[in-house]
């Protein structure tokens, strides 16, 4: 990570804490590694993102319904899904620093560094030539071609090593690439070994009676085991989807980068059940739909890209990630997978219960195939928060820190500010707040100068500040100041509700999908 970006990311993390968005968990006991709590504004932003996903998936699709399955599930679920035997990451330790890494992440980061070099070459050339075509440059410039060849070579070797479960080769790649530990600076590595990521605990109070159960590492299995319940009780016809949001737990080896990789996090997953043979069509459709959903948030289309998986699970037909440009580079935000009928077939096998669908058109019963979309709520939160954070030097030399959050997701839509704490202005302001609060999250603030209150609301990310001044008492109008343009308009008190609705409503954004 370049120093400037690294500093900016540190500022985002401290801003998130200072303004009640994200706190380290149990901080009074020095925190718990890679576990975080959402504060008073964080919980609102998170709730709004979750709601936007839910409405786009469930409310907008007649053939998608919701579910809320438990975190604990019968332990055989995880045998059937393959998690007990194969939900692991390849880890490697540096013998000098004892620091533990994910072997695949070390290699991927190395490739990302080479890609950064390519981008630098492109940037340099773009400045030099007036007419510049990045695509042509990438296919003709000798240095770029050399870098690209290096990436392709590493990728091919890495893919083969993963496909053949050749952990010795994974280590050899790390050795050959001369990757060093960031702490000790040495290449003194242990062998690569697999580490299961599931947390387990005991069900039952007496040890003889107890059995090992797991904290779910994904919400998806709750959907698979309820497939038939939902299909039957909802009289669902293929194709149809089941959507769910909820906590998942993974004992990540290298949990880092703030809320990007946590041990307790929230997923928003949708399993779309389709007839065999239709899965690739729906896979492509969901790729397009999900990318459109991300773009509708308004952070900029150039911030997202697709990345096809190097290694496909043996049952999967296709898998890709939607990656987002976080402050530390392009990283996975959402996964989209064509999973075949693997999951339902496995649950049939392990439970002995039929999980089939009778297709009246084909006049046959079969196990449906599944296309899955799976996005991390906390990662989405980070993508939005880190893009919204800005520091701007004003003419008077001071720094204005703002969260330019998309208005429909902002925790507080408007702050209501009486110009002074007297002359009847607080009463008018509170009356307005009591009217608006039924439709909008609003906040009343009378402390400090209006300038200071504006700054405070900018830092929280409130898109509008409504000031009640002495003229309000006679003209029944207020001044509304926009966070993004810092311009002001004066409108009648009676129009404030509609003014806010038009500019902060989630419904209006849903209509753009
Ligand atoms: N059911 C499929 C599944 O769980 P995944 O790629 O392992 O697929 C899906 O996870 C999404 O969950 C990821 O794209 C990411 O956004 C989020 N996620 C996964 N592990 C995470 C972690 N440790 N911390 C935060 N988010 C995580």
pLDDT digits (tens, 9 = 90+) for 352-403: 999 999 999 999 999 999 999 999 999 999 999 999 999 999 888 889 999 9
- Please determine, for residue 311, whether its predicted confidence score (pLDDT) is greater than 90: no
Write the CB contacts of 266 (distance below 8 Å, at least 6 apart in sequence): 46, 50, 245, 246, 247, 248, 376, 377, 378
Question: How far away, in angstroms, is 193 Cα from ligand 1 center?
Answer: 21
Question: Which whole number is the average pLDDT over 464-486?
Answer: 96
pLDDT for res 122:
86
Pick the residue whose CA is nearest to atom 27 on ligand 1.
376
> Could you tell me the pLDDT band of residue 4, with boundaries at 50, 70 and 90?
low
Residues 362, 363, 369, 374, CA torsion sign: positive
Give the number of the atom of ligand 1 that is nearest the alpha carbon of residue 321. Answer: 14
Q: Evaluate whether 474 touches 500 at the Cβ level (below 8 Å).
A: no
Pick the residue whose CA is nearest to atom 9 on ligand 1.
374
327 by Cβ neighbours in 10 Å (0-12 / 13-18 / 19+) ranks as buried
- Please determine, for residue 6, whether its predicted confidence score (pLDDT) is greater than 80: no
Among residues of the chain, what percentage have pLDDT more than 90?
81
Question: How far away, in angstroms, is 93 Cα from ligand 1 center?
Answer: 24
Distances (CA, A) of 85 to 197, 220, 350, 466: 11, 17, 14, 58
- Please determine, for residue 5, whether its predicted confidence score (pLDDT) is greater than 80: no
Question: How far away, in angstroms, is 337 Cα from ligand 1 center?
Answer: 12
Domain 407-510 has CATH 3.40.630.30: no
- To test the pocket of ligand 1, the residue of 312, 376, 378 to mutate (highest count of ligand atoms within 8 Å of its CB) is 376
> Could you tell me the pLDDT band of residue 473, with boundaries at 50, 70 and 90?
very high
Pick the residue whose CA is nearest to atom 5 on ligand 1.
335
pLDDT for res 343:
96
Question: Which whole number is the average pLDDT over 438-457?
Answer: 95
Pick the residue whose CA is nearest to atom 16 on ligand 1.
376
Q: How far apart are CA 172 and CA 179, in angstroms?
A: 11
Phi, psi (deg, nearest 5) at residue 35: -125, 135
458 by Cβ neighbours in 10 Å (0-12 / 13-18 / 19+) ranks as buried
Collapsing DSSP to helix, strand or coil, 317 comes out as coil
pLDDT for res 183:
93
> Could you tell me the pLDDT band of residue 309, with boundaries at 50, 70 and 90?
confident
Question: Which whole number is the average pLDDT over 289-312?
Answer: 94
Pick the residue whose CA is nearest to atom 7 on ligand 1.
218
Distances (CA, A) of 274 to 244, 270, 424: 18, 13, 63
pLDDT for res 3:
59
Question: How far away, in angstroms, is 216 Cα from ligand 1 center?
Answer: 12
Q: Evaluate whether 426 touches 447 at the Cβ level (below 8 Å).
A: no
Q: Evaluate whether 376 touches 50 at the Cβ level (below 8 Å).
A: no
Give the number of the atom of ligand 1 that is nearest the alpha carbon of residue 217. Answer: 4
> To 5 degrees, how large is the angle CA 214–CA 216–CA 220?
145
- Please determine, for residue 341, whether its predicted confidence score (pLDDT) is greater than 60: yes
Among residues of the chain, what percentage have pLDDT more than 70?
98
pLDDT for res 207:
61
> Could you tell me the pLDDT band of residue 407, with boundaries at 50, 70 and 90?
very high
Give the number of the atom of ligand 1 that is nearest the alpha carbon of residue 263. Answer: 23
pLDDT for res 1:
56
Residue bearing tokens 């800005």: 390
Lowest-confidence region among 246-250, 285-289, 305-309 = 305-309
- To test the pocket of ligand 1, the residue of 81, 214, 218 to mutate (highest count of ligand atoms within 8 Å of its CB) is 218
Question: Which whole number is the average pLDDT over 161-171?
Answer: 89
pLDDT for res 321:
97
Collapsing DSSP to helix, strand or coil, 167 comes out as helix
Question: Which whole number is the average pLDDT over 163-189?
Answer: 93
Lowest-confidence region among 46-50, 135-139, 236-240, 259-263 = 135-139
Phi, psi (deg, nearest 5) at residue 500: -70, -40
Largest CA distance in the chain: 80
Q: How far apart are CA 193 and CA 88, in angstroms?
A: 9
> Could you tell me the pLDDT band of residue 119, with boundaries at 50, 70 and 90?
confident
> Could you tell me the pLDDT band of residue 206, with boundaries at 50, 70 and 90?
low
pLDDT for res 499:
97
Give the number of the atom of ligand 1 that is nearest the alpha carbon of residue 337. Answer: 2
Distances (CA, A) of 68 to 222, 249, 318, 505: 8, 16, 27, 26
Per domain, the residue ranges of the chain are 41-76+197-394, 100-179, 407-510
- Please determine, for residue 255, whether its predicted confidence score (pLDDT) is greater than 80: no
Residue bearing tokens 């387990």: 200
State which fold the 41-76+197-394 domain adopts. BirA Bifunctional Protein; domain 2 (3.30.930)
Strands of 86-239, DSSP E: 88-93, 100-102, 193-196, 200-203, 211-214
> Could you tell me the pLDDT band of residue 257, with boundaries at 50, 70 and 90?
confident
Q: How far apart are CA 481 and CA 484, in angstroms?
A: 9
Question: Which whole number is the average pLDDT over 205-233?
Answer: 89
Q: Evaluate whether 378 touches 271 at the Cβ level (below 8 Å).
A: no
* Ligand 1 interacting residues, C-beta cut-off 6 A: 218, 220, 250, 252, 261-262, 265, 267, 269, 332-335, 372, 374-376, 378-379
């Amino acid at each position: 990570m370049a120093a400037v970006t690294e500093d900016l990311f540190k500022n985002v993390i401290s801003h998130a804490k200072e303004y009640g968005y994200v706190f380290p968990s149990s901080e009074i006991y020095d925190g718990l590694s890679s576990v975080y709590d959402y504060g008073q504004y964080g919980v609102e932003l998170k709730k709004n993102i979750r709601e936007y996903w839910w409405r786009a998936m469930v409310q907008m699709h007649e053939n998608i319904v919701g579910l809320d399955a438990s975190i604990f599930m019968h332990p055989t679920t995880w045998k059937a899904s393959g998690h007990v035997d194969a939900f692991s990451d390849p880890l490697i330790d540096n013998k000098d620093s004892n620091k533990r890494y994910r072997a695949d992440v070390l290699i991927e980061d190395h490739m990302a560094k080479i890609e950064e070099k390519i981008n630098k070459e492109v940037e340099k050339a773009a400045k030099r030539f007036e007419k510049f075509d990045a695509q042509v440059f990438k296919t003709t410039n000798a240095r770029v071609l050399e870098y690209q060849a290096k990436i392709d070579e590493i990728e091919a070797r890495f893919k083969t090593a993963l496909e053949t479960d050749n952990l010795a080769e994974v280590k050899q790649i790390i050795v050959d690439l001369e990757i060093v530990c960031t702490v000790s600076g040495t290449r003194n590595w242990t062998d690569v070994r697999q580490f299961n990521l599931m947390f387990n605990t005991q069900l039952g109070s007496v040890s003889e009676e107890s059995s090992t159960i797991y904290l779910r590492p994904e919400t998806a299995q709750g959907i698979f085991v309820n497939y038939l319940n939902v299909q039957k009780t909802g009289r669902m016809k293929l194709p149809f989807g089941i959507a769910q949001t909820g906590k998942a737990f993974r004992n990540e080896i290298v949990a880092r980068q703030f809320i990007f990789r946590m041990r307790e996090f929230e997923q928003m997953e949708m399993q779309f059940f389709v007839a065999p043979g239709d899965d690739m069509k729906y896979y492509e459709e969901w790729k397009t739909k999900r990318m459109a959903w991300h773009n509708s948030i308004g952070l900029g289309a150039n911030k997202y890209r697709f990345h096809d998986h190097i290694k496909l699970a043996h049952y999967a037909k296709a898998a890709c990630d939607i990656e987002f440009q976080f402050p530390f580079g392009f990283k996975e935000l959402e996964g989209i997978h064509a999973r075949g009928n693997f999951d339902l077939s496995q649950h049939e096998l392990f439970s002995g219960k039929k999980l089939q669908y009778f297709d009246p058109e084909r006049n046959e019963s079969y196990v449906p195939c599944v296309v899955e979309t799976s996005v991390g709520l906390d990662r989405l939160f980070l993508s939005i928060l880190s893009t919204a954070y800005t520091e701007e030097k004003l003419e008077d030399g001071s720094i204005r820190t703002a969260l330019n959050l998309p208005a429909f997701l902002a925790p507080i839509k408007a702050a209501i500010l009486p110009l002074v704490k007297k002359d009847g202005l607080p009463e008018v302001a509170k009356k307005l707040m009591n009217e608006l609060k039924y439709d909008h999250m609003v906040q009343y603030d009378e402390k400090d100068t209006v300038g200071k209150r504006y700054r405070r609301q900018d830092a929280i990310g409130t898109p509008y500040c409504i000031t009640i001044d002495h003229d309000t008492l006679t003209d029944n109008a207020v001044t509304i100041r926009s966070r993004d343009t810092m311009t002001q308009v004066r409108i009648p008190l009676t129009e404030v509700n509609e003014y806010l609705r038009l500019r902060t409503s989630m419904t209006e954004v849903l209509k753009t999908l």
